[in-house]
């Protein structure tokens, strides 16, 4: 197994390789770019980039990471990138440090360490089933709490265990809508239901609050954006 490893802290502009690159961030924070995605990274973030994919890392204060290059097609065989967070025992960090420290020693030993690291990644990898489950969990949380004014969509996305930009992209890929759009359409749909059921016996201000909005002007703006007319006009038609 032909393996190259190194440690880097400086920014790296977008580039691509003919081989797999495994990156584990060991210190600092930054932003990892991949195609149209921009992902926040920090200590313990592990990213596997398949051959031919443009990627880079930018940080204001320096973001240290260990990279491992190699022909891992037989072991990984990925159609797209993988982003995982190292486990609480930081086994990935430990293995990456071992690989880096022994990079000039017995190549067979280093290859064995890399195999163990890849196995660690595969055990924690974001499979389609896991990602689908994460997206469904976000959908369920929105379904259950869309009328809650205190619902914090960013917090819901963080609970998925994935980087926010990444789960947003996967959510849109799965539903065809951004999480914000999905929530907004659900709230406005419920507002239409309340207007139709209660006619004018329930004020639009009360309806807005029951749909999760504390600001009526904002509610009215979102309503017109989705329905095409203001909530007042919609109510007057019933």
Backbone dihedral angles phi then psi of residue 4, each to the nearest 5 degrees: -125, 135
Q: List C-alpha distances in Å: 204 to 148, 198, 224.
A: 17, 10, 13
Look at residue 66 in the predicted model and tell me its pLDDT.
95
Spatial CB neighbours of 105, under 8 Å, sequence gap ≥ 6: none
Look at residue 128 in the predicted model and tell me its pLDDT.
54
Number of continuous H segments (helices) and E segments (strands) in the chain: 9, 9
Q: Which of 36-45, 96-105, 111-120 has the lowest mean pLDDT?
A: 36-45
Q: List C-alpha distances in Å: 36 to 53, 108, 127.
A: 11, 38, 21
| CATH class held by domain 3-125 | mainly beta
Q: Give the whole-angstrom CA distance, residue 97 versus residue 95.
A: 5
What is the band of 83 on the pLDDT scale with cuts at 50, 70, 90?
A: confident
The residues spanned by each domain of the chain are 3-125, 126-238
Q: Give the whole-angstrom CA distance, residue 238 versus residue 205.
A: 17
Query: Around Cβ 235, how many Cβ atoms within 10 Å?
Result: 21
Torsion of CA 216, 220, 226, 230, to 10 degrees: 150
What is the band of 129 on the pLDDT scale with cuts at 50, 70, 90?
A: low
Work out the mean pLDDT of the chain and round it to a whole number.
88
Contact 96, 29 (CB under 8 A): no
pLDDT above 80 for 124: no
Per-residue pLDDT tens digits for 29-77 = 999 988 777 788 889 999 999 899 899 999 988 899 999 999 888 888 7
Look at residue 169 in the predicted model and tell me its pLDDT.
86
Per-residue pLDDT tens digits for 160-217 = 767 777 788 888 888 889 999 999 999 999 999 999 888 878 999 999 999 999 999 9
Look at residue 130 in the predicted model and tell me its pLDDT.
64
Look at residue 4 in the predicted model and tell me its pLDDT.
86
pLDDT above 90 for 146: yes
Q: Give the whole-angstrom CA distance, residue 125 versus residue 46.
A: 10
Q: Determine the average pLDDT of the residues in 228-234.
A: 93
Query: Superfamily assignment of 126-238 in CATH?
Result: Homeodomain-like (1.10.10.60)
Nearest CA among 77, 88, 1 for reference residue 43 = 88
């Amino acid at each position: 197994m032909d393996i190259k490893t190194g440690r880097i802290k400086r920014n790296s502009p977008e580039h691509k390789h003919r081989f797999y690159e495994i990156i584990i961030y060991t210190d600092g924070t930054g932003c990892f770019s991949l195609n149209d995605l921009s992902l926040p990274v920090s200590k313990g973030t592990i990213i596997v980039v398949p051959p031919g994919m443009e990627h880079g890392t930018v940080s204001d204060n320096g973001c240290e990471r260990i990279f491992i290059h190699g022909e891992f097609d037989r072991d990984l065989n990925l159609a797209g990138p993988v982003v995982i967070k190292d486990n609480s025992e930081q086994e990935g960090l430990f293995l990456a440090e071992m690989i880096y420290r022994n990079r000039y020693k017995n190549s067979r030993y280093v290859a064995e360490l890399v195999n163990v690291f890849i196995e660690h990644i595969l055990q924690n990898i974001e499979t389609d089933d896991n990602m689908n489950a994460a997206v469904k969990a976000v959908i369920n949380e929105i379904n259950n709490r869309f009328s809650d004014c205190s619902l914090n969509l960013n917090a819901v996305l963080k609970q998925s265990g994935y980087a926010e930009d990444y789960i947003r992209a996967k959510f849109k890929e799965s539903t065809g809508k951004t999480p914000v759009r999905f929530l907004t359409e659900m709230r406005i749909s419920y507002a239409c239901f309340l207007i139709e059921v209660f006619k004018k016996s329930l004020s639009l201000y009360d309806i807005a609050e029951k749909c999760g909005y504390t600001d009526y002007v904002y509610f009215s703006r979102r309503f017109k954006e989705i329905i095409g007319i203001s909530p007042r006009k919609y109510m007057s038609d019933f």
